[in-house]
């Protein structure tokens, strides 16, 4: 069987359950794996200093999360996987290492059991490539990440030509790829995925170009030798190019991004619960006093804005509470609380920004197809508007929090 385009999730879990049924690793053999040896230091340098809580989603053998728990004093690492056999492996290594700062638990990446905003860092290595509905897992990772927290997300690289052609060659000769469903992402596709969910890109990186070459060695031992030469060469190229080679052509690439943190008052970020259906599309819902923090009395839409540089808003309200969404196209939202201001590029991702009472807000840079949806806590009342900037400043002075 050549690689199927869409294994269902239970077939994928079975592939990994079989993989993790193999002989248990000792810490020594686990941490000696070449892919780990090449990847770990690169990942580790992006864990922010002082991170206290780390979640690993789809931890598999547990090599990254367990090594982080071992190496980062003051850190608590939660390792999760949906496959029971993976949990057995991770527990075995954790106990051999005598780690007391880890929790190992079964979790479904599509429905994590943790509350919103729980972890300083969420890490997931080479998991989304095996999940056809990877967006749902990414959204969950972002949900449980604290505002200001770091998400590190990696995948097999679509520009690692040796690996991609390896899979193609297997498929041409009718052989099964051992890991079931596997797609690839480029570093820039990962960055786009992050941006889609309003994550702020910190950087992208990658590692171990030569692993794609080593993979061929099952078919001919010469590839072991070639892999060694390629690895030494790419190390030199990386050293002189600031990792530019591995960043684009590594076996794995990854994105490091930060969950936006609101520093303006009178605001908030809201992510609408979404029911995604590959064949029939996404259904997003906003419920008053649930996903929206007030009872909804009014909704309004703004659309058909002909000018990119048109300006809407540019006012605040005294009492009115609102949440603004982009439901098509894009626009830029600027919010200001009198002391600080913030900007968001709004896209139709289900993320809404609260425009609470006293928050000055301005919308601009509208795409031609932009459609804005606002849910509001009250009916229209012109007396509630503060349309003049100086008048608003005066109002803030006279109405402290």
List residues binding ligand TYD (CB under 6 A).
Answer: 298, 300, 312-313, 315, 380
Using the minimum distance from each CB to ligand TYD, give the nearer residue, 285 or 301.
Answer: 301
> Least distance to ligand TYD from the beta carbon of 370, Å?
12
The DSSP annotation for 114-177 comes to SPTT-EEEEEE-S-GGG-TTHHHHHHHHHHHEEEEEEEEEEEEBTT-HHHHHHHHHHHHTTPPP
> Least distance to ligand TYD from the beta carbon of 312, Å?
3
Q: What is the dihedral of CA 71, 73, 79, 85, to 10 degrees?
A: 50
Q: Residue 321 and residue 355: Cα distance in Å, rounded?
A: 6
Contacts of 122 (CB under 8 A, 6+ apart): 54, 55, 56, 57, 141, 142, 144, 145, 149, 150, 151, 152
Q: Residue 366 and residue 86: Cα distance in Å, rounded?
A: 47
> Least distance to ligand TYD from the beta carbon of 388, Å?
13
| Cβ-contact 374, 324 below 8 angstroms | yes
Using the minimum distance from each CB to ligand TYD, give the nearer residue, 22 or 303.
Answer: 303
Residue 268: how many CB atoms within 10 A of its CB? Answer: 15
> Least distance to ligand TYD from the beta carbon of 50, Å?
42
> Least distance to ligand TYD from the beta carbon of 356, Å?
16
Q: Is 317 a catalytic residue?
A: no
Using the minimum distance from each CB to ligand TYD, give the nearer residue, 108 or 332.
Answer: 332
Q: Which residue is nearest to ligand TYD (CB)?
A: 312
Using the minimum distance from each CB to ligand TYD, give the nearer residue, 289 or 382.
Answer: 382
- Which contacts of 71-79 are long-range, i.e. CB under 8 A and separated by 24 or more positions? 71/44, 72/47, 74/50, 75/51, 75/101, 76/52, 76/101, 76/102, 76/103, 77/101, 77/102, 77/103, 78/53, 78/54, 78/102, 78/103, 78/104, 78/105, 78/119, 79/103, 79/104, 79/105
> Least distance to ligand TYD from the beta carbon of 116, Å?
29
Using the minimum distance from each CB to ligand TYD, give the nearer residue, 44 or 312.
Answer: 312
Using the minimum distance from each CB to ligand TYD, give the nearer residue, 33 or 314.
Answer: 314
| Cβ-contact 250, 157 below 8 angstroms | yes
Catalytic residue, candidates 130, 315, 317, 361? 315
Residues annotated as catalytic (active site), given as ranges: 315
């Amino acid at each position: 069987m050549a690689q199927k385009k869409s294994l269902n999730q239970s077939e994928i879990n079975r592939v990994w359950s079989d993989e993790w049924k193999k002989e248990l690793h000792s810490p020594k053999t686990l941490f000696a794996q070449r892919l780990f040896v090449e990847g770990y230091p690169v990942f580790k340098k992006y864990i922010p200093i002082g991170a206290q809580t780390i979640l690993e989603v789809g931890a598999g053998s547990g090599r990254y999360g367990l090594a982080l728990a071992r190496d980062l004093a003051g850190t608590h690492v939660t390792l999760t996987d949906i496959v029971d056999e993976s949990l057995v492996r991770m527990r075995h290594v954790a106990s051999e290492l005598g780690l007391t700062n880890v929790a190992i638990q079964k979790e479904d990446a599509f429905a994590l059991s943790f509350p919103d905003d729980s972890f300083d860092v969420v890490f997931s290595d080479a998991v989304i490539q095996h999940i056809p509905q990877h967006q749902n897992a990414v959204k969950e990772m972002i949900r449980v990440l604290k505002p200001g927290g770091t998400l590190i997300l990696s995948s097999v690289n679509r520009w690692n030509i040796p690996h991609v052609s390896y899979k193609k060659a297997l498929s041409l000769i009718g052989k099964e790829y051992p890991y079931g469903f596997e797609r690839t992402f480029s570093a820039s596709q990962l960055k786009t995925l992050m941006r889609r969910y309003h994550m702020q890109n910190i950087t992208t990186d990658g590692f171990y170009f030569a692993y794609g070459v080593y993979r061929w060695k099952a078919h001919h031992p010469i590839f072991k030798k070639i892999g060694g030469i390629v690895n030494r060469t790419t190390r030199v190229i990386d050293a002189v190019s600031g990792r530019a080679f591995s960043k684009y052509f590594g076996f794995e690439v990854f994105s490091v991004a930060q969950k936006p943190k609101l520093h303006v008052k009178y605001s908030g970020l809201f992510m609408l619960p979404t029911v995604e259906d590959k064949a029939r599309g996404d259904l997003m819902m906003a419920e008053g006093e649930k996903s929206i923090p007030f009872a909804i009395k009014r909704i309004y839409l703004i659309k058909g804005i002909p000018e990119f540089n048109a300006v809407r808003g540019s006012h605040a309200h005294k009492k009115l509470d609102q949440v603004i969404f982009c439901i098509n196209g894009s626009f830029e939202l600027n919010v200001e609380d009198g002391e600080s201001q913030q900007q968001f590029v709004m896209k139709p991702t289900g993320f809404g920004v609260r425009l609470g009472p006293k928050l000055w807000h301005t919308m601009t840079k509208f795409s031609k197809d932009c459609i804005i949806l606002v849910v509001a806590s009250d009916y229209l009342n012109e007396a509630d508007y503060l349309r003049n900037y100086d008048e608003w400043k005066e109002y803030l002075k006279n109405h402290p929090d």
